[in-house]
Structure formats: C-alpha cells, structure tokens
Structure 1
Amino acid sequence: MTFPVIGFGDGGIIPRGRAAIEASGSGFKAIWNAWELRGMVVLSLSIQVFLIFIGNRRKHSPGAFTTFVTWVTYLMADPVAVYAVGIITTKLTKLTELSADFNVELSAFWAPFLLLHLGGPDTITAYALEDNELWLRHFLSLLTQAGVTFYILLMAWNGSSLSIMTIGMMIAGIVKYSERVWVLWSSSSEQFRNSIPNHASILSKVAEEQKLRVAEGFKVVPHEVIEVREAAMEYNLEDSDLFEEKGNTNEMYRSCLVELLAARGLVTIFQRLFADLLLSFQDRDTSLAILDGKDFRVAFKIIEIELGLMFDVLYTKAKVIDTWWGTARRVGVMLFSAVILVLFLLVEVRSNSYSPVDLGVTFLLLGVAIFLEVYALAFLMFSDKVACWLIKSKRFKALKRIHRIKPLQKRQRWSRKMSQLCLLSFCLREKHLFCDRLLKLAGVDETIEKHFYKTNKKVTDNLKKVIVEYIKGEKSSWNTRGSKILGKFKEAEKLRWSIELEFDESILIWHIATELCLNPRNPDSLIPSGQEKRIQDNIGSYIETGTLLSRYLMYLFVFHPYMLPTGIGRLKFADTYTEAMRFFDELKSIKGKEKRGKEKPGFTCCGLNTKQLCSCVITKLKSVWKQYGKTDEYKVRDACNELRDRLNTKLNMTIVKEDKSKFVLFHGCLLASQLEKFNDQEMKWEVIGMVWVELLAYAAAKCKANYHCQQLRRGGEFLTHVWLLMAHYGLTDHFQIPHAPSITELIVT
C-alpha cells in the first residue's frame, strides 16, 4: 500500500505534487512578467524590419510564400505594437512613488518607439487597396495611441533627461504615424480621383482671365493657335540635346533615361485610367507621339515603369517621401534618433543602474529606428521618381553614381512572368498530397491542389512583339474576339461559331482545342520538317504565342475570374472540370479491367532460376515505369489521344448542348478536329495564336481598373500591361472627350 507524499506549505500540509505545480506555475508567471514586454517590443521591431524589406519586394515577387508572409506580418504589426503599449500602461499604473523602478521608467521610454512602429515602414502602407479606404480608422487609432503615449509620459515624468528624450521620440512617432494616415487618405479611391486635375482646368483658367480683364476695362482679343503637344515634345528625347557628352554615353544607359522620362510624362496623363476617369483624344495623340517609332521592348519597358510608379503611389509612402519635406523629415528623425542614442549612452547609462537586457532592447530600438530612416532614404534614392527628377534637372553626375550602385536596366519593377494552368493536367490529378483525404473531407481539395498545377513562364520577346504589332495595326481591337483573324482566311470561317459563344465558353473551348493541337498523335508533325526555315520559325512563334496565352487565360479563368468579362465562368469551369474528371476516372476504370482481363491467372515468379527471376522483375519494373513514370507531357498527350478516340465529334451539337457539363468538353474536341483538318500548318497556328491575342486584348480592355490595381501587389499581371499599352494607343473605351480648341494666349490692348 502506498501513501501520497506530502509536504509543508504556507497554508499547512499540502500534497508535495501540488506544491511543485504551484512552484513551477509561479516561476513561469515570473518569467512571463519579466519577458512579456521585452518579447512584444522585440517582436514589433522584427516585424518592422521584415516589412521594410519585403514590402517593396512583392512588387516583383508573386510567390505564394511571399504573399502569405507579408499578409501575416502586416496584420500582426499594429496589434503587437498596441498590445505592448497596453503592457507599459499597466506597469506604470501599478507603480507608486515608494516602489519606483528605473527599469519600469525605461520601459516608458519605449512607448514612443511603438508609436513609431504604428507609422509603419515606407515600403508598405497598405497590403491591399481596401486598406486605403480604412484611413479614418487609422486616424482614430492615431488619436488614441498618441493620447495613451502622452498618458505614459505623464505617469513616468520625473524631470530627468530620459523624460525629455521621451518627448522628442513621441513627436517623431506622431509625425511618422500622421504620414501613414495621410498617405492612406490620399490613396483612397475618392481622394485619388479628386486629386487628378480636370482636362478643362487650363481652358477654364484662360476663360476666367479673359472675363477678369474685360471687367477691368481692357479690350481682350482671344488668339487661337494650333495645339502644341508639350508633353510629347518634352518627353520624346530621341533628337534632343538633353544628354551631355552624348558620344561618351552608353547606349543602353541612354535608352534607360529615355524610357524613364517618357514613362514619367505618360503616367501623369494615364493615371486617370486607374481612377476610372475619361481621357481625351489629345491624350491619345500625345502618347502616340511619344511611342512613335519605339521598339516593342521599349514600349513594354515604359509600361513597366509606369505601373511601378503607380504601385509606389497606391501601396507605399511615395507621396510623402518623394518631396523635399518628406526627405527633410526622414533626415531629421534619423539625426534626432542618433543624438538621443548618444545622449542616452553618455548620460543615462552612466548615472542609472538599468537591467542589461533592458539596455540591450533600448539600444536595439534606437539603432533600428536609425536604420529604418536610412533605408527609407536609400529606397527614395534608388526610386524611379528620383531618377526622373535628376534627368529633368540635368543632374547626370549624381544619376551616374546611383546607376553604378544599382543599374537602371537591372531594376525589377514587376515579376516579368505570366502564370500558366493546363486544364487537362489539372484534371488528371497526378500530384496527390499527403493529406488528400483530409482536404476532401473539408471540401477544399480542389482549392488547395490547383496551386500545385500552376506554373510560371517568362514573358518572351516574341510574345511582346506579336502583341505590339497587333495593337499598332488595330483601330478597335477591344471589340473583336477572334473575328479579324478568322475573316483573314476562307478556311477559318467555319470556326466562327466558337467565338460567337459567351466569352468564358470561348476560352474553355479554345483552350481544350489548343491542348489537343499541341499534342497530336504524331509528335513530329507539330512542326513539319523539310520546310523553309522561315516557315518553321513562324510556326514556332505562333505555337509559343498560342500556348502561353491559352494557359495564361485559363489561369486567370480559374484564379482571378473577376479580371475577365462578366459571366458565369466559375460554374462553367466547375461543370467542365467535373465532366473531365468523370471521363478520366471512367477511362482508368476501363483500362484497369482490360489489363486485368489480359493478365494470365496464377502468374508467379516462384520456381524460376536466378536469370529468369531477374528477367521477371525487370519486366515488372518496366511495366510500372511505363504506367507511372511518365512525365506530365506524356500523360497529357495520352489524355488528348483518349479524348479523340472516345468523344464522337460527329454528334449533333444540340443533342450534346442539353447536358451542360459535356457541352464545353465536346465542342473543344470538335474545334480541334476542325483545326486539324487544315492542310497548311502555318495558317492553322497563325489562326490559333492570333485568336488568343484577340481574346487577351478583349479581356484586358474589359477588365475594370480597380482589378488591375489590385494585381500590382501580386507581382503584376501581364493582362494589366496589355491593358495600359492598349490605352496608350487609344484602344480602350476611356477616350470619350473630343478635341477642344486650345487658347494659348490672350492679346490685351
């Protein structure tokens, strides 16, 4: 028989186990009380350092990990800082004059730094556009946290030098947080729209001046002259004398300067697009004058710079730091923090006995505060806007020094990639997850697994060239969905039914047909040999264009359907996906039965000699490798052949259309069979490639500006670049303001 071990405690005899638990509990509580505030302050500091590095990186890094980590840290930043301020308030409330503690007073010095953290880093003010609309909430938070910090200052005030330093850091924190609130307010949709000047503002000013002069008794004669496109003359620098020592200037460097200055001029005009405002035909003529004669690479580079500038305006503190006052504030806060660091080191450390850990946290706060301002100045120095200002002011020596540190042509302003998704590869579902059954029970298996079938491809120069040439040759491309290229060839007229369907159906049908044409029964027939090299190059170019755009639009269709014209694409994709899954599952079942029927009963390797046994094992391994060791390319090719064999495209369309789930899959096979009947392979792939170009242009023009802005924080979408390029050539429906007579001067007599 055993007896419980007992011991003596403060309240009498208690079980020894309970005493141990209470002792360990009190120890944990003491550790928590000692390190809670320190941990929260260091965590808040770490979040600020992390955000300042990754905030601008997401502009050109669209990875899921980068997006997720940025989202988590952005959401954690404010609550962690507010929680730490609450801990400081609680400690000071419990503090009395008889129990004064230097370490608690030092922790009160940390409160202004947390207010500084609430101001956020300069590289990220808003994670999404919706955060800009919450500026009023942040304004109330500014008032609240500034009041709490002032309360902490009063509670800890003792007239010492540390209290005076706290006042200085509190002012810096309020300024920093006020900057964030102002940026959020100025980037909100309504204020951003109101900040863009009206087209009629210049003309109205001249009219007001005319009325004023007439009222004063002067005789005013309006002198109407021909419009002068000042912007085009100012930013089209090919033949200007802008560059000093022109002969010694590197051609690539000079091209970068031209692109930067052209983008600066165009973004001031086309920022109206991002606010859903109308443009005038004069704006179109200005952009055409700037882009006239430019290479397709230069055109896309200008668009890239413009979108990079818009990202800075919408998601960073660019509006604040790109001014003289903004730069002065950063230099002031940096110098002020450095002075406080020196004073704290010379005065407070020597005269008071602080905890070494608290001293370390304080020095870390001061050091990181200085580092954040230095990084903000470096971020400003290497920004495109400063480069444009240096070019305009002809400060080429300073620009060359910056160029040596961070070359202009190597700056990443977007991901330069386009995501790809193959519907057939997704339907085969060969990439099983370890928790596949659990995901199915939760009903999120498709949502999670589709990310494993998404790939990224670099936007090639060939694709850029095809799109620029198409846009230059169009007058109203946004109204076409493939009809122009189908009307070019008599044989392609019979395919017109495929583009007269709803837009989402056309994408699904043409995607399936393109995959079938990419995977013919004879792979060598994809690009026929024995033809002229020019023809082979043309076929290869159209194949690349059709493949990239087909899988890119399918990616948008699945991941970002809101960027495509309004429809019920989600439901139709789900129906098509379900039918394709059912088809391939039935096919696997049939093949499994056929394979089991062909196998000899009682087949075994027992009783065989060593040589026969090895041969049997090798045969089995070859069979397994043939079945499961195929690459995705071969699996998709086999699936395409099975679609050709088992879907009868000679059936009546109306019969199949009654079953909506089979409608798209069947018509994709029907379209592929019609395309494969083309005798001219170059014509067939030209039709496929250019149909996808027209579908892309139509989708880009119909997408709302707000959705284009949202994608800038995810590395940018190629669709957005095409949209802005089309706007520069006047191919969107934003150009509705006609030319107005321009009065450039008044003759007063």
Structure 2
Amino acid sequence: MGLVEWWKLRWDSWGLRVVILISLGLQILLIFLAPLRKRVSTARITVPIWGAYLLADYMAIFAVGLISYSQGCVTSGPYADPTLLAFWAPFLLLHLGGPDTITAFALEDNELWLRHFLGLGVQFWAVGYAFIESFPNHKLWIPTVLMLLAGLIKYSERTRALYLASSRVFQDSLLEDPNPGPNYAKFMDEYTSKNNAKLPTLIKIISEPSKSNKTTTEAEKGLSDLEVVQTAHKFYLTFRGLIAELIFSSAQRNESRDYFLKRTARDAFQIVEVELNFFYDILYTKAKVMQSKCLGYPPRAISFILTCAALVIFYLIERKKFDKFDIIVTYTLLVGAIALDLIALFMILYSDWTAVSLTDLERPNWFIKKLPNWFLKKLQCLLNVERTRWLGWFFPEKMMQIVRPRWSESLSQYNLINYCLHPRMEWWERIIDYFGLTILLDRTKYGNTEDFTSHLRDFIFEELKMKSELADDFETAKEIFSARGDWILQDEGHINLLDWISKVEFDESLIVWHIATDLCYYTNHSKDEDNDTKLNRELSKVFSDYLLYLLILQSPMLSPIAGIGKIRFRDTCAEAKKFFRGRQILEEDISFQKFFTSSKCFSCCFRKFSCCFSKCYFKGKKERDKNLQKACERILEVNTDVPPVTVKGDRSKSVLFDACRLVKELKELESNKQIWMIISKVWVELMSYAAGHCRVDTHAAHLSKGGQLLTLVWLLMAHLGLGDQFQIREGNARAKLIVSK
C-alpha cells in the first residue's frame, strides 16, 4: 500500500469524525473567548477569535458536504454507517447557528444577513438530503428529526440577529410612528370661516409643560453596580439612535445633561461603559433576539428540550451495531450541545439585561410580569442582581483584570521623535512595506500602551463638564463642539497661540502640538514642579501620543478630519531623520534592543535571566529617554526666526520646526505651570473634536476591538449635550384658535 493510499484510507475512516469534533471545539472556544474581545485589544485574543469565527463556519459546511457525499457512496468498514451519519448532520446546523456571544466578528458581517439566510436554506437542504438518503433503514429518525428542528432554530436565531443588527433594519426599528401633527387644513378652514363671518379671532401658541427630571441625585452619593446598570440601560433606550445617526429632542438633551452634570467622573464613565456594552451586545451578539417576546426564550427552551429528548432516545435505542468510537462521538455531540445551551443560559442569567429585567419595576419584562413577588425575590437573591462581587466567586484574582473591565482601559501610544530616532534599514523597510507589514511592525516596535487612570478620567470629565455648563443654548453647544483648541485659548486669553489651531488643518495642528509637547516634556521641567504641573505634564504626554496613534495607525477613526495627515507625518519624519543624521544623534543612540543584544548583557542573562532582564529593560528605557532629551534639545537649538515655509515652500509638508516655533511661543508664558495647563487642555479639546467628528460606524466597529477612549468621550459628550445630533427648534407647542365675543 502506497503512502497516498494509506492517507486516503485514514481520511475515509477518521476525517469526518475529526472535522465534526473540531467544529464542536470551535464552538466551545468561541463561547468563552468571544466576550473578551470587547475588553482586550491585543492580537493574542483577537486573532484566535477571528480564526475560530471563520473556521467554525467552514468546518461545519465542510462536514455537511462530507456527510452528503458519504450518503451517496457505497463504502465499507466500521465507520460508514449511514444512519449515524444522518444523525450527526443536524448537529452541524447547531454549530452554524453559533454561540450567543458572537454573531458578527465585524460590523460589516451584519450586512451579509441575506447570505446567511441563503446559507440556511442550502445547509438545511443538504442535511435533509442526508436524512432522506438514510431511509428506509433509519432507526434514529426520531432523534434526527428532533435535532434537525433544534438546529433550524439555532441557525435561524443567528440569521435573525444579523438581520436586526444590519444598518437599515436597525435604523428602521428605532423610528417612531409617523406623526402628521395637528390637522392644519381643518384648522385653517375654521380660521377662514370665522374671518369670513367677521368674528374677532386670535391664534394663541400654548407651550406644553416639559417633563420633569426624576433622575437627578446628589453628586456626592456614588452609584452602586446595579444603579449603574439600570441608569445605563435607561439612557441606552434613548441614545441608541446615535448608532443610527438619528437626532434627539431638546427634552432628551436636557434630561441627560442635567443628570450627568450632577454625577462624579467615576459614575459618569461607568454609565457610559455599560451603555457601550449594550451597544456591543445588540450589534455583535444574539442579545436582541434573546430579548424578543416570542422569538427569544421560547424557541431557545424548545431547542434545549429537543436536544435533551434526542439524548434520551439515543440512549434507549439499540446501539450494538454501531462502532464504539462513533457512539462516543455521538454522545460528545449531544452532551456538548446541551452544555453549550446551559453555558449560554448561565451567561444570560448573569447578564446586565437580566439584572435590568428583574429590577425594573416601572417597565418589567413581559415574562417577569407573570412571576409572583415571592418567586421574583428568590430569583433576585439567587442571581445576585447587585453583582458587586459575584465575579470573584468564579474567577481568581489574577483573571479579574481581564474579566471585570468593560473595555480595554488602555491607551495605545505612538511617538514621532522616537520613531525617527530608530529608523530601519532601507532594504528592510522596502521588504516589510511590500508585504504590507509596516503598520503591524510599527505597533510592535514603536508603540506601547498606557493605563486609563483615574487622573485621566477625572481631567477629561471636568473639562467636558465645564464646557457643558456653559452650553445652555444650542448655538453655544455647537460652537464648543466645533472647537479644536481655540476655545480654551480664547478663554485663557492666549490669542497669540490661536494661529497654531485656527489657521491650520486639524492634522497639521495635531502633529505640531504633538512635537511641541515632546519638546516641552523632555526639556521644560524642573524638580520644583508642584503636583498639578507634574500631572498635567504626564497627561499631556499620554494624550499627545494617543492621538498620534489614532492618526497614523487607526486612520479610519480620524479620516473625516485627517486631511493629508499621513503625508505630513511622512514628510516630517523624513526631515527629522535627515536632521538627526546630520547632527549624529542616530549613531549615539543606544536603544533597548541594541543594549540587550550586547555580549555583556547576554552573558549576565545566562547567569541570572530574570534579574538581568529587569535591569537591562530599565537601563534601556533610561537610555532612550536620554536620547529623546538630547534630540529635543538639538531641535530647539535651531534658529527659527524665519518661518520654515519661507525657505522650503510648499514642496514639503514637514512641520518639525513649526513645532519648534510653537514651543518658543509657549515658553513666553508666565510659568511652567501655565504652559502645561494650556497644553493639557488643548489636547482634551483636540480629542473632543476628534471624537465628535469620527464616523459613527467607526465608533461602533471599535467596540469589538477592545474599545477606544475616543468612543467613550464621544458618548459622554452626547450625554452632556455637546454635539450636533440635537434638533434646535422646540416641538412641544400647539396652536389654539380663540374667538372673542
């Protein structure tokens, strides 16, 4: 027997079984890993989920094809029982239905719901063909029919979830019933008739009373976990129209604004985080299907009962003629299907949706209405609706950093000067650019992440809150919304700095202030700085590197306002590298990689790796900071009395020495404290401008990639009434015709 024949025999015997078990394993992997992608933004999590998501469908479709092919062929051996193959086929429909935790990997998958609907029909026909081919000697036809119905329910759930999350359907679902308003024709006919009868008439406009805000509470009283979830769900029901780019009334704006102005930064950000989690569930999971009255829990209960009945019937049927391994595979499929349903049920019971349903006394779920009060109280105790510490019962403390957060709580960083100080060799640059790996390697080598600290959170909220308090009318709110640094400069009276904001494009302004922040960060500090100055200095650095990361490595987020940002960045980098080479800074650079590959470092690593790694890392970081400081000092040494555009013209878009001119203007301020206060506030305003002008679908797309601080700021601004999605004209008035005697 040749090698090819041997492999063919092994494949005929074991191929289908292996593919089916792999398909089940992928479902188990997805149900546990998929929720992590809204909390973790690293490739170590997203890449396995992406691979499992694609392979799950491919494996299931491939297995259905193998079963259909096997039913039409005459094969021999213990692994070719057509009855058992027909019984396995419906399980693949279950797998194609996917777990509750992921229906779409990317936002674009929702638009392909029609393709999945067609796939539902084709795969159901293929499974039905395998079932029909097994007659008339099909002893397992009853459990096969049961599993066929269960698989049809699960696959239909996924198709319906994709359909409801598609952009057009989602937008239509949020539209209210058409409102023609008062009968204008009848009103004018009556008005005309009164005039013709020469009766004195008067049209009086009566304003309807606005709804009082019942949600206002004192800011000093923090919200519990349950109150955060309830409040977030309340605002989600109102502001989910943001995803569909709808507008909101002035009453909705005022209610939200009044509430958030009374909250602390911690409560405000927690509410926004939970609200974005509701957005994520609607767009990327089966949450909307499961929350449906008739097409949610009842079909899921029927599917679970059918699977359990199939397990019992298979156990009772004579199984001696089947191979032992095939019986094990069958039990694995049955138990696996039941286990997946139980895990999904557990996740539903401990979800925020269930917490809201069990505790919302004003608008309880339709199913909760039918429960007696004593049972509802027992159920609340069982599910621990307060959920303050329930995660600690199931996860060790080391895993809480991944399980507890509702987004990645990190800010990716990217620094222009650091990038220019560590250039790649030209031939290597061409190779990685040819294969499209430049961005990936740039993130690895030149980028890092910073934690989203409470100082960052409080500073952002206080700045937005201050602006919201000033935005009592729509005109002021839109003016603040459109500001990108000029508002704070005008407010502080620094008119001379406005040219670096108002007279340049957004991308140019961002890169100029980014370089200027670095130049000040590494050259303009002293040991006598107070805590506020040190804090503003560090915050400015984090904001600066974060926004440059978005501009260069996450360009879709800033594409509406980025302009020629990448061209300007490349030209600036080219000039910086040329300048550093001319001043011989690159040759003096001792980066961490170069230091770590030295013989001395390797020798100590062999003796005591862990201790050496720590020492080398921090020494390398110290050397990098030293080189950055030296580079910034050399840049500031250049005489910039003549504007760079006068010398270079418009051939190069570089802004390296424009930033140097900005720094020299900043240093004319009264104190170092004032410099960093201005820089930090300008960065918050630049970030707010970027958040408000980022496309809505881009915000939604990043919900499945660990989330972005920019998205949290965008939603928080909407809640504080800073945006252009509110209608200006009031609509709560009506006309009344009065006839005088």
- Determine if the TM-score, normalized by the shorter chain, exceeds 0.5: yes
Q: 1:378 to 1:288 in 2, by over 3 A?
A: same
Counterpart position of 1:603:
none
Question: Is structure 2 residue 734 aligned with structure 1 residue 723?
Answer: no
CA contact (8 A) 2:38 2:705 kept: yes
Give 1:513 shift.
0.5
SS at 2:449 equivalent? strand
Separation in 2 of the partners of 1:511 and 1:304? 28
CA contact (8 A) 1:341 1:366 kept: yes
Counterpart position of 1:558:
552
Specify the code of the residue in structure 2 equivalent to 1:278.
I
Q: 1:31 to 1:127 in 2, by over 3 A?
A: same
Alignment equivalent of 1:634, drawn from 582, 603, 626: 626
SS at 1:519 equivalent? helix
CA contact (8 A) 1:578 1:661 kept: no
Give 1:301 shift.
0.9
Counterpart position of 2:301:
331
CA contact (8 A) 2:537 2:680 kept: yes
CA contact (8 A) 2:571 2:654 kept: no
When structure 1 is superposed on structure 2, of 465-474 and 546-555 the one drifting more is 465-474
Q: What aligned pairs does 1:505-654 form with structure 2 within 5 A after superposition?
A: 505-520=508-523, 526-529=525-528, 536-564=530-558, 565-588=561-584, 630-645=622-637, 647-654=638-645
Give 1:723 shift.
0.7
Give 1:687 shift.
0.6
Specify the code of the residue in structure 2 equivalent to 1:43.
I
Separation in 2 of the partners of 1:205 and 1:659? 57
Separation in 2 of the partners of 1:72 and 1:206? 56
Separation in 1 of the partners of 2:586 and 2:92? 66
Give 1:731 shift.
1.1
SS at 2:81 equivalent? helix
CA RMSD, Structure 1 to Structure 2 (Å): 3.4
Give 1:694 shift.
0.8
When structure 1 is superposed on structure 2, of 274-283 and 404-413 the one drifting more is 404-413
Counterpart position of 1:669:
660
Separation in 2 of the partners of 1:337 and 1:446? 47
CA contact (8 A) 1:527 1:539 kept: no
Counterpart position of 2:395:
none
Separation in 1 of the partners of 2:390 and 2:210? 32
CA contact (8 A) 1:119 1:177 kept: yes
When structure 1 is superposed on structure 2, of 107-116 and 393-402 the one drifting more is 393-402
Question: Is structure 2 residue 333 aligned with structure 1 residue 365?
Answer: yes
Counterpart position of 1:294:
263
CA contact (8 A) 2:226 2:386 kept: no
Deviation string 1:603-631 (CA, Å, 9 cap, x unpaired) is xxxxxxxxxxxxxxxxxxxxx99997854
Separation in 2 of the partners of 1:670 and 1:323? 60
Q: 1:406 to 1:495 in 2, by over 3 A?
A: same
SS at 2:224 equivalent? helix
Alignment equivalent of 2:62, drawn from 64, 75, 83: 83
Counterpart position of 2:349:
381
Q: 1:641 to 1:348 in 2, by over 3 A?
A: farther
Separation in 1 of the partners of 2:377 and 2:454? 30
Q: 1:285 to 1:589 in 2, by over 3 A?
A: closer
SS at 1:731 equivalent? coil
Give unpaired runs (5+ residues) of structure 1. 1-21, 215-221, 240-250, 594-623, 744-749
Give 1:544 shift.
2.8
Deviation string 1:688-710 (CA, Å, 9 cap, x unpaired) is 00010111111111111111111
CA contact (8 A) 2:93 2:124 kept: yes
What fraction of aligned residue pairs are identical, expressed as a percent? 35
Give 1:318 shift.
0.3
Give 1:443 shift.
6.2
Give 1:104 shift.
3.1
CA contact (8 A) 2:117 2:159 kept: yes
Q: 1:396 to 1:739 in 2, by over 3 A?
A: farther
SS at 2:655 equivalent? helix
Question: Is structure 2 residue 133 aligned with structure 1 residue 155?
Answer: yes
Q: 1:103 to 1:584 in 2, by over 3 A?
A: farther
Specify the code of the residue in structure 1 equivalent to 2:263.
K
Counterpart position of 1:456:
449
Question: Is structure 2 residue 397 aligned with structure 1 residue 418?
Answer: no
CA contact (8 A) 1:124 1:316 kept: yes
CA contact (8 A) 2:24 2:95 kept: yes
Alignment equivalent of 2:237, drawn from 250, 264, 268: 268
TM-score (norm 1): 0.80
CA contact (8 A) 1:112 1:166 kept: yes
SS at 1:678 equivalent? coil
Counterpart position of 2:40:
61
Alignment equivalent of 1:468, drawn from 461, 484, 489: 461
Give 1:412 shift.
2.6
Counterpart position of 2:273:
304
Counterpart position of 1:483:
486
CA contact (8 A) 1:238 1:258 kept: no
SS at 1:294 equivalent? coil
Deviation string 1:293-341 (CA, Å, 9 cap, x unpaired) is 1111111111111100000000000011124542233233223222322
Q: 1:206 to 1:508 in 2, by over 3 A?
A: same
Specify the code of the residue in structure 1 equivalent to 2:630.
D
Separation in 1 of the partners of 2:618 and 2:103? 54
Q: 1:294 to 1:710 in 2, by over 3 A?
A: same
Give 1:360 shift.
1.7
Separation in 2 of the partners of 1:171 and 1:627? 64
Give 1:358 shift.
1.4
Give 1:171 shift.
0.7
Specify the code of the residue in structure 2 equivalent to 1:139.
F
Counterpart position of 1:185:
163
Give 1:433 shift.
14
Specify the code of the residue in structure 1 equivalent to 2:117.
F
Separation in 2 of the partners of 1:704 and 1:344? 53
Q: What aligned pairs does 1:224-235 form with structure 2 within 5 A after superposition?
A: 226-229=208-211, 232-233=213-214, 235=215
Separation in 1 of the partners of 2:79 and 2:356? 54
CA contact (8 A) 2:413 2:548 kept: yes
Counterpart position of 1:498:
500
CA contact (8 A) 1:116 1:173 kept: yes
When structure 1 is superposed on structure 2, of 289-298 and 107-116 the one drifting more is 289-298
Specify the code of the residue in structure 1 equivalent to 2:629.
R
SS at 1:56 equivalent? helix
Alignment equivalent of 1:258, drawn from 227, 230, 248: 227
Give 1:225 shift.
7.3
Q: 1:409 to 1:478 in 2, by over 3 A?
A: farther
Q: 1:74 to 1:291 in 2, by over 3 A?
A: same
CA contact (8 A) 1:128 1:710 kept: yes
Q: What aligned pairs does 1:97-116 form with structure 2 within 5 A after superposition?
A: 103-116=81-94
CA contact (8 A) 1:330 1:377 kept: no
Specify the code of the residue in structure 1 equivalent to 2:338.
I
Separation in 1 of the partners of 2:327 and 2:84? 9
Counterpart position of 2:604:
none
Give 1:588 shift.
3.7
TM-score (norm 2): 0.81
Q: What aligned pairs does 1:348-359 form with structure 2 within 5 A after superposition?
A: 348-349=318-319, 352-359=320-327
Counterpart position of 2:730:
739
Deviation string 1:92-142 (CA, Å, 9 cap, x unpaired) is 00149x999763321221110001111111100011111000011111111
Q: What aligned pairs does 1:694-713 form with structure 2 within 5 A after superposition?
A: 694-713=685-704
Question: Is structure 2 residue 322 aligned with structure 1 residue 347?
Answer: no
Give 1:54 shift.
1.5
Counterpart position of 1:598:
none
Separation in 2 of the partners of 1:41 and 1:643? 63
Give 1:288 shift.
2.0
SS at 2:314 equivalent? helix
Deviation string 1:575-611 (CA, Å, 9 cap, x unpaired) is 2223223333444488679xxxxxxxxxxxxxxxxxx
SS at 2:411 equivalent? strand
Counterpart position of 2:96:
118
Separation in 2 of the partners of 1:697 and 1:227? 34
Give 1:438 shift.
4.9
SS at 1:663 equivalent? coil
Specify the code of the residue in structure 2 equivalent to 1:288.
R
Deviation string 1:508-553 (CA, Å, 9 cap, x unpaired) is 0000000111101xxxx62541x7xxxx122123213211211110
